[in-house]
Amino acid sequence: MALFLPLAAGIFFASAQTASARCCTLKTGASPNATAIATLYDIILGLGVSVFLIVFAFIAYSVWKFRAPKHPVAAQFHGNTRLEVSLTAAATMILVVIAAATFIALPTIIDPPNSNANVGSVLSASLTAPVPPNGKEITICVMGRQYIWRFTYGANCNKTAWQDRLPYSYQEMEAPAGEVVKLVIQSSDVIHSWWIPALGGKVDAVPGFTTYTWFEALHAHELYHGQCAQLCGREHAFMTALVNVVTPAQYEAWLRQQGNAIQSQNDQVAQVRRYLVKQGILTSSGNF
């Protein structure tokens, strides 16, 4: 009976796709690249489960069919050429299927589709990062540091964010539905890994390097959860991430709100600075 328990479990997980969607398969349907990754994963998982079941069934059959009494006399076999050739051919076909499926899925995973990119204030294009065929995209910089994510919104967000006073947020990213969002991923201390399972594959944030990925959230009013997927220190488990998908109009309104808040805070700081200079506490050059 114990020999057939793994077989029964394999059949259950292979057939009950809906019930096992969260334990054995990837999330899908939120972004085209995530769907392509999940499809490729399902193909490889299906082949792996099939090979496991076939091998296990063959072993179970052999144990039962060729069982022998106590103190058997060992039989001598030269081999089975036909069986060896068949197994080699089957293994080759499996590799061919995996390679073909991978190369078919890769363009959808790597290359983003066209985007409306109606949020005009953050349009950008890059020659070194994934770009939609029509060149329109939204850029968000993702900066990882122990133990939180910082998101900066707008073109050149990894170069002139402070000078341009670009909007930013921590832990929760705002993103418009139906638009291609290019992520510029960096780290300020150790290696982190950006991963929102429903929106695509994970990408490492490496100090001193810039990496890229993209997603296109298909549905507004969705909140997607993620987690740093690289052990980055004692508080690694608490380095979570959220992507709040809103309509393009809501996204543009949020950007204006953040920009106004930054301007208001800068005005307050400038006012305090003028007061300190007037009182002689701070010089006009900024020194005490």
What is the pLDDT at residue 223? 92
What is the pLDDT at residue 13? 45
The residue extents of the domains of the chain are: 2-66+79-110, 120-274
What is the pLDDT at residue 8? 47
What string of pLDDT tens digits covers the 288 residues of the chain? 444 444 444 554 444 443 334 567 777 667 777 888 888 888 888 889 999 999 999 899 888 887 777 667 767 777 778 888 988 998 899 899 889 888 888 777 776 766 665 544 343 333 356 665 555 678 999 999 999 999 999 888 888 878 878 899 999 999 998 888 989 999 999 999 999 988 888 889 999 999 998 888 888 899 999 999 999 999 999 999 999 999 999 999 999 888 888 888 877 887 888 777 777 777 766 554
Q: CB count, 10 Å around CB of 10?
A: 16
Q: 1.20.58.390, 2.60.40.420, 3.10.20.30, 3.40.50.300: which CATH number matches 120-274?
A: 2.60.40.420
The 3-state secondary structure of the chain reads CHHHHHHHHHHHHHHCCCCCCCCCCCCCCCCHHHHHHHHHHHHHHHHHHHHHHHHHHHHHHHHHHCCCCCCCCCCCCCCCHHHHHHHHHHHHHHHHHHHHHHHHHHHHHHCCCCCCCCCHHHECCCCCCCCCCCCCCEEEEEEEECCEEEEEECCCCCCCHHHHCCCEEECEEEEECCCCEEEEEEECCCCEEECCHHHCCCEEECCCCCEEEEECCCCCCEEEEEECCCCCCCCHHHCEEEEEEECHHHHHHHHHHHHHHHHHHHHHHHHHHHHHHHCCCCCCCCCC
